[in-house]
Amino acid sequence: MKFFIDSADIKEIREAHAMGFLDGVTTNPSLVSRTGRKFIDVLHDICEAVKGPVSAEVTAVDRDGMLREARVLAKVAPNIVVKVPLIADGLKAVKVLTEEGIRTNVTLCFSPLQALLAAKVGAAYVSPFVGRLDDIGHDGMALIAEIQTIYRNYHLPTEVLVASIRTPTHIRQAALMGADVCTVPFAVMERLLAHPLTDKGLAAFLKDWEKVPK
């Protein structure tokens, strides 16, 4: 499974990259707005730090507007993946962008049939939002299981990018289901390393090491 970080904070991204297991980055307008910087400047910094896929989202909601923005974003760096909302005009845009050789990430997916349509028009990634489904009393991970089954049934190449991750449990379940990617907030990523027995064991080793003659 690939690990992406869901962030526009270049310090977080560099720290995650230094850990050695980071495969890519996802951003969105909300994350970029928190930086207080120009979107293109943020993208340039991220693409310089991480050579894997970097998702950059359009803000237009009409086909032609999305295409204009997508073509500008795609020129920022070769590893840019254009993020497009899962609406009718978004699918129209994805079809054209795919034909032009521009990779896309179809976002805000909340049903298996939406995911099927995204794959049909050639999306490189589809992003189901598991946490937001959990927030309203639905089972977000059940959605991942259904998408995985549909994609396998028809050998669809679109990668399932599990998004809106709240806990390490989401990641464990996604990995067991065979999801292609999890995009993870930095705070959750740090929690993947945490275990009380690791801390306890390390403390014991260091305490015993102090007894060794130097």
- Please say if the pLDDT value at position 39 is more than 90: yes
- CATH number for the domain running over 2-209: 3.20.20.70
pLDDT tens digit string along 86-123?
999 999 999 999 999 999 999 999 999 999 999 999 99
Residue by residue, DSSP assigns 63-86 as: HHHHHHHHHHHHTT-TTEEEEEES
| Residue 98 burial class via C-beta count within 10 angstroms: exposed 0-12, middle 13-18, buried 19 and up | middle
Which of 148, 213, 164, 184 lies closest to 15 in space, CA to CA? 184
Catalytic residues: 83
Nearest Cα neighbor of 112 from 76, 160, 157 is 160
pLDDT in tens, 133-151: 999 999 999 999 999 999 9
* Cα distance between residue 143 and residue 111, in whole Å: 7
Average per-residue pLDDT in the chain? 97
pLDDT of residue 69: 98
In angstroms, the CA 102 to CA 95 distance is: 10
Read off the pLDDT of each residue in 46-70 and give the average, rounded to a whole number: 98
- Residue spans of the domains in the chain: they are 2-209
Cα 6 from Cα 54, distance rounded (Å) = 10
Residue type at 78 in one-letter notation: P
Question: For 4-27, what is each residue's pLDDT tens digit?
Answer: 999 999 999 999 999 999 999 999
Quick: pLDDT tens for 155-212: 999 999 999 999 999 999 999 999 999 999 999 999 998 898 999 999 999 998 999 9
**Element containing residue 128 per DSSP (H, E):** strand 125-128
Give yes or no for residue 214 having a pLDDT over 90: no
Residue 36 sits at φ, ψ, to 5 deg, of: 70, 15
